[in-house]
Every structure is written in C-alpha cells, then in structure tokens.
Chains A and B, each alone.
Chain A
Amino acid sequence: MTTLTRIYRFSASHRLHSAELSTDQNAALYGKCNNPYGHGHDYVLEVTAAGDLDANTGLLLPVAQLDSLVEEHVLRVFASRNINRDVPQFATLVPTTENIAIVITRLLEAHWSAYLHTWRAHLRRVHIQETDRNGFEIALPRPQPTESVTTHA
C-alpha cells in the first residue's frame, strides 16, 4: 500500500474546562491546562491519504489540492485562534487534542470530495502533536470502492 503524508503547523490557544465539572474537579483534572486565561501550543498536524496511484500522473493526489483543502477548512479555522472562543464546534466541547483531532477529521471528511473526488486517494489517518511529547492519532478504515474516478491528463 502507498500512503502520502503532508505535515502542517498551526498555533492556537485553548483552555480545558468542562461545564459538567465543578471548579475544583476541573482544576484537579486538567491542572495547568485549566488556567482561566488559557494557553497555547504549536500544533503539528499530519494528514495521510492512502489509495492507488494514478498511473498517468504517478500521483496519489495533487499535493496542492490537499493543501487547499487543509488551508481553507482547517488552518483558516484553527490557526492563530482561541479555539474555545473562535471555533464554533468548541462552544461547549472541551478542546482537548483528542476532540481537536475528531473535529479536524470530520472537517477533512466533509470537504474531501469537493477537492479530491476525481482521485482514488482516501483519508487514512489524522495525527496531531500538541507538543513534542503528546501525540494523538485517528486511523480511518479503507472505504468500499464505489465512486467512479477520472483518469488524469
């Protein structure tokens, strides 16, 4: 199997605080991450596509198309933002990196075909490093082959 992984970076702030928990419970659970003013990270996002190479172009997908998808639907949403306040999905959802990975995966899935529907590649994996030490990853199953694809060039 062949996969292609593109690495993106964005900086954002967040605060981990659950409305379901008391002040003391939040402080005990999230520690420094519960600081009322929030704090930030330089997140590193890896997006992996898998599938069959297009024989004519030698590409799994055109990287520029993947970049456009990620820039317009992920980086524009998260980069240099306060995730709790600026990203609507986190109005009530706690912006742990687990939840950020889930939201980013849903955004990529929702907009994937608009950018890449003529290619055989599918979204395979989303990996986020919150810091050098903390990594989070979602692996996606290989979809059933259904849609017709275009031969390129």
Chain B
Amino acid sequence: MFVTRKAEFSASHVCRIAGASDAANRRLYGAGANPNGHGHNYLLEVTVEGEPDPVTGMVIDLKDLKDVIDEEIVAPMDHRFLNFEVEPFDRVIPTAENVATEIWRRLEHRLGAASVRLAKVRLFETPDLYVDVTREDLPA
C-alpha cells in the first residue's frame, strides 16, 4: 500500500553553469539562468510503501513522516537561496531534477530504518512542471 504526504517550501535558486556563456545558459535553463536568481513555491509529495500495522492500522504514523520531511527538507530549504544556503547546491546546479534527487537522498537516508520504503518523490517546481524520482523496481 502506498501513502503520500505533501509539503510546501518556497526557495530561490539560479541555474547556471559557471564556465558557460550567458547565451548557452539561457538555452539550457531559460529565464532560470538569471544570475541574480528567482524563486518558486515548491510542492513536494512523498510516497512511501508498506503494509498497515495489524495493531495500529497504519502504514506509517503520518506525524512521524511529517516530522522527517520538516527536518530534512522544509526546515533547511524553506525561504532559503538554495545555491548559497543548502548543501550540495553550492556545487550541484539546483534544477528541479537535482532538487528532487537530493530530496530523495535525504529522505531515503532517514527512512532507511523504518518499516516502510520510500517509493516516490514528486516535486512540483511550478503548477505546470514536476519531477518524479521513483524506486527503480516500481513502474513509473
């Protein structure tokens, strides 16, 4: 069974390759290459997979999942400039793909000992663009 918890955070970022020309950066990242940065209201959906506990009837205590998401993602990223304030985005370009991958990495690290498995991270950068990171053995 899959259980999904949502969270939001707002952050700024800039997507640029330092050694590339302004034109090349614009081709790759569009307006996202603006050197001074810009921001998004990111919407995060975290899906875990497990079986309901026979006593509690819960796959996971959603309060616990909320706390993990708050500690690992929302607290460090909300109202921050990702490139300057959040590891590893001082050296990894904070594209939606890379931010989603980092969120997956952080959550998987924390949920490793839990009775559930991380199944999917869906990150909306805008209402019209989202990135999914899924466990390899699950259908996309």
Interface flag for A152 (CB, 8 Å): yes
Interface flag for B133 (CB, 8 Å): yes
Cα A62 to Cα B128 in complex, Å, equals 15
Which single residue of chain A is at the shortest CB-CB distance from B18? Answer: A153
Per DSSP, chain A at the interface is: strand
With A1-B140, A4-B97, A53-B101 known to touch, is A62 a contact of B27 (CB < 8 Å)? yes
Task: Enumerate 28 A-B pairs (CB-CB under 8 Å) in ascending A order.
Answer: A1-B133, A1-B136, A1-B140, A2-B97, A2-B131, A2-B133, A3-B132, A3-B134, A4-B96, A5-B132, A7-B127, A7-B129, A7-B130, A53-B101, A56-B17, A57-B17, A57-B28, A57-B93, A57-B95, A58-B92, A59-B29, A59-B97, A62-B27, A62-B29, A139-B140, A153-B17, A153-B20, A153-B28
- Interface residue ranges of A115-133 to B (CB < 8 Å): 124-125
A1-36 vs B, CB cutoff 8 Å, 1 = contact: the mask equals 111111110000000000000000000000000000
Cα A53 to Cα B132 in complex, Å, equals 12
Residues of A within 8 A of B96 (CB): 4
With A2-B131, A5-B132 known to touch, is A59 a contact of B140 (CB < 8 Å)? no
Closest 7 CB pairs of A and B: A58-B93, A58-B95, A7-B128, A58-B98, A3-B132, A153-B20, A153-B17
Point out the residue from B27, B98, B130, B134 that lies within 8 Å of A64, measured CB to CB. Answer: B27
Interface flag for B100 (CB, 8 Å): yes
Interface flag for B74 (CB, 8 Å): no
Residues of B within 8 A of A53 (CB): 97-98, 101
With A2-B131, A2-B132, A58-B97 known to touch, is A124 a contact of B27 (CB < 8 Å)? no
With A3-B140, A64-B30 known to touch, is A59 a contact of B95 (CB < 8 Å)? yes
Cα A114 to Cα B47 in complex, Å, equals 35
Interface residues on B, range: 20 to 34
Contact B131 A4 (CB under 8 A): yes
Interface flag for B118 (CB, 8 Å): no
Interface flag for A63 (CB, 8 Å): yes
Which single residue of chain B is at the shortest CB-CB distance from A65? Answer: B27
Contact B131 A5 (CB under 8 A): yes
Cα A8 to Cα B128 in complex, Å, equals 7
Contact B140 A50 (CB under 8 A): yes
Residues of A within 8 A of B92 (CB): 58
Residues of B within 8 A of A62 (CB): 27-30
- Interface residue ranges of B1-46 to A (CB < 8 Å): 15, 17, 19-20, 24, 27-30
Cα A50 to Cα B95 in complex, Å, equals 15
Interface flag for A100 (CB, 8 Å): no
Residues of B within 8 A of A64 (CB): 27, 30
